[in-house]
Structure 1
């Protein structure tokens, strides 16, 4: 890897780390960049997942104030994301690359719609229920949604954050900034677990120079992304999430 190539991939990692923290579609920056430089798709996907763990850590840390007091909920949701990411990572290694092509845009579209409709649905729920506690039915739906997002994130990951924010916007009685903080923690778990699976099962496909370049860039990007994301008004943050989700759908449909 030349110095120019390292710098270009690190810059892509910076943008990916920032976008992942604010929304969650950073893979749409780094993955095409790696393909442009001639890396095989599986090597690009696996190395990218490993590198973006650094950005997930800095982004989650940047949102630590928004998730204060939610340790119990995160402790219950973390194993769900962990299980989903293991399943997704294993599917990536055994299924053909085109296996998820048909369903991925539909999942992202569903996430976009849930982000748009989430506040209205939650408002309706508050008018019809005196308690803000999760009902058993909503908890089951939340777990199912987090599991599906984890499988998807372990398999590919682009716009995983859109799906997570969409599901939680409908089912959790929290503001979008708090939901974004939860999303960053769960997204970090998915990337980290998937990375460990790749290390254990298929270490030969990893390009460590790519991992290093993306890790350096995404670590800084996560810091900047947390500052930018936390400063956005809730309506603007939702607009950014929806816009990135639509761009992700368009990218996946034309490539």
Structure 2
């Protein structure tokens, strides 16, 4: 479907608002997918919407590598081979700092809570290091989603383009929800950027941004019942008003 960017909406304003809000608020990280195929047409449709994301001076810094079938299996196997070898994996580093080098409150508290909430649902205790490793390793199989995505950016670009990239990823995930699909954006792939570039023949001037799983959620899996807490607007917003009061 082609939509003019200047066209008026075809839905009543209340229905449109509800649909957009639902797509944004129902987006969550899914960690178990059905094997049901996502057609090339659907993948392209989601990307077609995301390409209209905001981007400084229209630079459009995104590049997407869609992996399915044998290519996805080959990529997953190559990463898992390294991930299951601590002597190698412990010495690998990310191409950029996604997370802070020093964790402080409240960010460390939120990180811990979502981690233990997930492991709690899966029955993985704090002492079960192998269980944690196996669950984390499911990232590299794209949580069994039929579609994996690897996102890269030209190394000459700077932080502003990463901000643009975040808007592109959000648009992609919201567009997926509108089609009944779910996603899981994954920074876990960063550590293995060299082997990913090798398998997918990504040129040196492209830096890995993150990965993403795309498909239909397996709602029978307990991990997909995880819903993270979000702070209320009052916790992160300051309203400034310099309007002077007048007295009659």
TMscore range, shorter length: under 0.3
**Higher RCO structure, 1 or 2 (CA under 8 Å, sep 6+):** 1
TM-score by length of 1: 0.26
**Rg larger in structure:** 2
Q: Which has the higher strand share?
A: 2
